[in-house]
Amino acid sequence: MDHYIDLAGDPSALAHLLRRLHLADAVASATLTPLTGGVSSNIFRLDIGDRTYCLKQALPKLKVAKDWIVPVERVYAEIGWLRTAGRIVPGHVPEVLGVDHETKSFVMAFLPPTYANWKRELMDGRVDPAIAAQLGDVLGRIHAATAGDAEIAARFANDDTFHAIRLEPYLEEAARQNPQVAVALRSLIERTAATREALVHGDVSPKNILLGPAGPVILDAECAWYGDPAFDVAFCLNHFLLKSARSPGALAALLVSFAKLVERYVPHIAWTKPDALLDRVASLLPALLLARVDGKSPVEYLDDHRRARVRAAAIELIGRPDSTLSDITTFWQREFSA
């Protein structure tokens, strides 16, 4: 990797960036405020006079307990995904305003605090299944518009990066921690890596979704890859189950959200048989549940007892490879009902 320029600690680098992107003549005219929420990037609010932007820079080492080194060039996959998705679902992704190759960073539209973070809403017990339905529609439109597109497939052939920031730290690490299901997990890794159908975001998590006037706005596309769209669907559905393990009182509304996302997504599936894609979602889902308690980026809101219950449930479901999504939610409701 070339020498990494950390904008968080180098005012001169920031000044050069502002001039290169024609945003300001000097760093003195800009105010840079760190924003919280991510483990993979420096994210700042950038104020220049009466203009406000968001500045994002990929980090070479993620801010997690276990060593997790990833290429900073993934920033270009994110920029590409935002621009591509912006043409398909305008209003549901932030606009990219400038790219700085020297610092591996980019400037995008700043979304004000009136845009609520979906994770915070869910964690505070405000579960609105209509949001999940909207997200299912948005994801379906992105996948359908990019399915079978050779140009997009070539542009997002990010197999190595997707492996480094998704398959290895999530599923491979879960396999290392749970050898009794390692064969099943490695089979899922191989299948996912070999499936190339549409443009995948790779991190469709409530923490990466803001709620605006037009509905959900999807952020943080660093994992963008032309691959298996089932991964996006399973990755989001996983969070409804995990949050219900934390808050059993919200289980019913979270399972309705689960069903609504699938219901609105399915009508967009025209590039393959819907049942084939949903079967892949169902087999990935328990593997991702296990990955979020035993992978390199475990969810922070489950205590040891709940973590153990999720682990046991995930391992049992992995041992039932023919389970449908309905089978999984029925099982989950029995195991985690208040």
Kindly report, residue by residue over 91-120, the tens digit of the pLDDT.
999 999 999 888 888 999 999 889 999 999
Q: What is the pLDDT of residue 37?
A: 56
CB atoms within 10 A of CB 26: 9
Query: Which structure tokens are listed for 165?
Result: 């920031």
Query: Which structure tokens are listed for 309?
Result: 């219950």
> Residue 188 — very low, low, confident or very high, per pLDDT cuts 50/70/90?
very high
Q: What is the DSSP string of 81-114?
A: HHHHHHHHSTTSSPPEEEEETTTTEEEEEPPPTT
Q: Which residue ranges form the domains of the chain, and what is each CATH number? A: 7-109 (3.30.200.20), 116-336 (3.90.1200.10)
Q: How far apart are CA 259 and CA 210, in angstroms?
A: 21
Q: Which of 10, 48, 3 is nearest to 28 (CA)?
A: 48
> Residue 255 — very low, low, confident or very high, per pLDDT cuts 50/70/90?
very high
pLDDT at 70 over 70: no
Average pLDDT, the chain: 91
**Under 8 Å between Cβ of 302 and 281:** no
Phi-psi category of residue 45: left, alpha or beta, with phi > 0 → left and psi -120 to 50 → alpha: beta
pLDDT in tens, 261-304: 999 999 999 999 999 999 999 999 999 999 999 999 899 999 99
pLDDT at 2 over 70: no
H or E segment to which residue 161 belongs: helix 159-162
**Under 8 Å between Cβ of 130 and 215:** no
Q: What is the pLDDT of residue 65?
A: 44
CA distances from residue 67 to 12, 43, 60, 200 in whole angstroms, order as listed: 29, 21, 11, 25
Q: What angle do CA 330, 119, 160 make, to 5 degrees?
A: 85
Phi and psi torsions of 298, nearest 5°: -70, 145
> Residue 1 — very low, low, confident or very high, per pLDDT cuts 50/70/90?
very low
pLDDT in tens, 34-67: 887 555 678 888 898 888 999 988 877 654 445 4
Q: How far apart are CA 144 and CA 140, in angstroms?
A: 6
pLDDT in tens, 24-37: 766 667 887 888 75
Query: Tokens 């084939």 sit at which residue?
Result: 276
pLDDT in tens, 145-162: 999 999 999 999 999 989
Q: What is the pLDDT of residue 72?
A: 75
**Under 8 Å between Cβ of 267 and 139:** no
E strand residue ranges, the chain: 30-34, 41-48, 51-58, 96-100, 105-109, 116-117, 198-200, 209-212, 215-218, 225-227
3-state secondary structure of 54: strand
Over residues 238-253, the mean pLDDT reads 97
> From the CA atom positions of the chain, what is the Rg in Å?
20
Percent of the chain with pLDDT over 70: 92
Phi-psi category of residue 202: left, alpha or beta, with phi > 0 → left and psi -120 to 50 → alpha: left
Q: Rounded to 5, what percent of the chain is helix, strand, coil?
A: 55, 15, 30
